[in-house]
A and B are shown apart, each in its own frame.
Chain A
Amino acid sequence: MADQMQLYEVFVRSRRGLDHKHVGSLHADDSAQALEYARDVYTRRGEGVSIWVVASRDITASQESDCESFYDPLDDKPYRHAAMYELPEGVDSL
C-alpha cells in the first residue's frame, strides 16, 4: 500500500563530466521502481544521462546547527588558504 512505500532521493547527472545533482524525491516500493519513476518524473526532456536513487533513510546527514562542533577547528588554519602567502614585489601571479 501507498503508506508502506519508501522515500527515495533522486540525483541526476546532466551530462558526462558533471556531478550527479540532487533534483528531488519520490515514493517507490523498491529501488528499481524508484529508478523508473525518476526517469518519468525528472528527465522528461533529456535532462540527464544517468540517475542515482538512494533510499532517504540510508542517508546520514550532518546538521547546519552542528556547524560549530563540526567545523570550528578548521577555521584557525589560515595556512590552508593560498591567500595567506604574500607575493614579493614584481610577482603579480603565482
Chain B
Amino acid sequence: MDKANVSETEERTFQARIDAEEKIEPKDWMPERYRRNLIRQISQHAHSEVIGEQPEGNWITRAPSLERKAILMAKVQDEAGHGLYLYAAAETLGVTREELIDRLHTGASKYASIFNYPSLTWADIGAIGWLVDSAAIVNQVSLQNTSYGPYARAMVRICKEESFHQRQGYNIMMTLMKGAPLQREMAQDALDRWWWPSLMMFGPHDGESAHSAQSMKWKIKRRSNDDLRQQFVDQAVQQAEAIGLVVPDPDLIWNEARGHYDFGAIDWQEFERVISGNGPCNRQRLAHHKNAHDEGAWVRKAMAAYEVKQRSKARDVA
C-alpha cells in the first residue's frame, strides 16, 4: 500500500472508533487536523481559566467579609487548578507548556472574550460566578463526552468543582437583592452588563461557526453553540426572576410552542471587536499575565538551582 492508502485506512479506523463512542487516547493515530483543532480548543479553554482569575482576583482584597474573601480565594485557586488540568491535557497532544503560553502572549491563541470586561463592583463577582460559570458549566457538561480521553477526564473533574462557583455567585446576587435599594441596584447593574457577554460566550450562531461542523463529526464538540445557549437562557431567566432581577432584553418572551424562551439579537459586532483585541481590558489582561510570568522567572530559576544543588549533594554522599 502507498502512503496515502495507509493514512486513509487509519482515518477510517479513527472515525469508526469515534462513531462507536470510543475515546481517542494520546498514543492513537489521529488526523493532524483533529490534533490541531483539539490543541486550539483545549488551550483556549485553559487560557480562559487562567485569564479569568484576573477580574475576580481584582476583588479579593475588597471582599465585604472575611468569609466572602475566603470563598473567593478558594474559587480563584480552583480556576488555576482547572487551567492546569487543561494544559496537561493539551500537552498530551505533543505541544509544550511554553509554546502554549507563548501563543497566548503573541495573541495567536485566544481566551474567552468575556474576561475582557472589567469587574467594576462587588456585584460583578456575583454576576461572574452565577452567569459566566453557569455558561461554562452548560458547555463543559456536554464536553464530558468529548472524544479525546484526556480532555473528557479533565472536564469531569472540572464540572465537579464548578457547581460551587456558580452557587457562590448566585448567593452573592441573592444576598444583594435582599439588601438596601442601592444594593439591589448594584446587582441589577451587574446583570445588565454581564448578560449579553454571557450569551456571546457560546460563540457564533451554528451557521456562522468556523469550526463547528468538523468538530461535531469528530465529537470534539457534542452540542451546537445555539443549542447550549438556549439551555443557558432557559435556566438563567428563571433564576433571575426568582430573586427579583430583570433580564435586560426587551424581546425576551416565553415561547409556549417551542418550550423555550425567545430572546433578542446578539450584537455580533461587539463580539468581533472584543475577540479581536479591542474590548475594554484586552491589553491589560495580557500585559498582566506577561508581567506575572516574567516576575516569576526568578522563582523558577531558584527552584531549578536548588534541584541541581540537591542532586550534586546526593552524588557527593554516594
Residues of chain A having any CB pair with chain B under 8 Å: 1-4, 7, 23-27, 29-30, 33, 40-41, 44-45, 63-65
Q: Which residues of B82-130 are within 8 A (CB) of A?
A: 84-85, 88, 91, 96-98
Complex CA–CA separation, A29 to B25 (angstroms):
26
Separation in Å of the A53 CB from the closest CB of chain B? 13
Separation in Å of the A90 CB from the closest CB of chain B? 42
Residues of chain B having any CB pair with chain A under 8 Å: 25, 27-28, 74, 77-78, 81, 84-85, 88, 91, 96-98, 153-154, 157, 161, 300-301, 303-304, 306-307, 310
Question: Which residue of A1, A24, A63 contacts B304 across the interface (Cβ within 8 Å)?
Answer: A1
CB <8 Å contact, A24 and B88: yes
- Which residues from B are CB-within-8-Å of A41? 81, 84-85
Chain B interface mostly helix, strand, loop or mixed? helix
CB <8 Å contact, B300 and A1: yes
CB <8 Å contact, B85 and A2: no
CB <8 Å contact, B78 and A3: no
A1-B300, A30-B307 known; A24-B81 Cβ under 8 A? no
- Which residues from A are CB-within-8-Å of B77? 44
Separation in Å of the B119 CB from the closest CB of chain A? 23
CB <8 Å contact, B97 and A2: yes
Chain A interface mostly helix, strand, loop or mixed? mixed
Q: Give me 5 other A-B pairs in contact (C-beta within 8 A), A44-B74, A63-B27, A64-B25 excluded.
A: A1-B301, A1-B304, A3-B98, A23-B157, A29-B304
Separation in Å of the B165 CB from the closest CB of chain A? 13
Separation in Å of the B82 CB from the closest CB of chain A? 10
- Which residues from B are CB-within-8-Å of A26? 84, 88
Q: In the complex, what residue of chain B is closest to A61 when comparing beta carbons? A: B27
CB <8 Å contact, B304 and A44: no
- Which residues from B are CB-within-8-Å of A25? 88
- Which residues from A are CB-within-8-Å of B161? 44-45
CB <8 Å contact, B84 and A3: no
CB <8 Å contact, B300 and A2: yes
A24-B157, A25-B88 known; A4-B25 Cβ under 8 A? no
- Which residues from A are CB-within-8-Å of B157? 23-24
CB <8 Å contact, A24 and B154: yes
CB <8 Å contact, A4 and B304: yes
- Which residues from A are CB-within-8-Å of B27? 63-65
CB <8 Å contact, A30 and B310: yes
CB <8 Å contact, B306 and A29: yes
- Which residues from A are CB-within-8-Å of B300? 1-2
- Which residues from A are CB-within-8-Å of B97? 2, 27
7 A-B contact pairs sorted by A residue (CB < 8 Å)? A1-B300, A2-B97, A2-B300, A24-B154, A30-B307, A44-B81, A63-B27
Separation in Å of the A6 CB from the closest CB of chain B? 10
Separation in Å of the B25 CB from the closest CB of chain A? 7
Separation in Å of the B190 CB from the closest CB of chain A? 27
Complex CA–CA separation, A44 to B85 (angstroms):
14
Separation in Å of the A19 CB from the closest CB of chain B? 17
Separation in Å of the B180 CB from the closest CB of chain A? 35
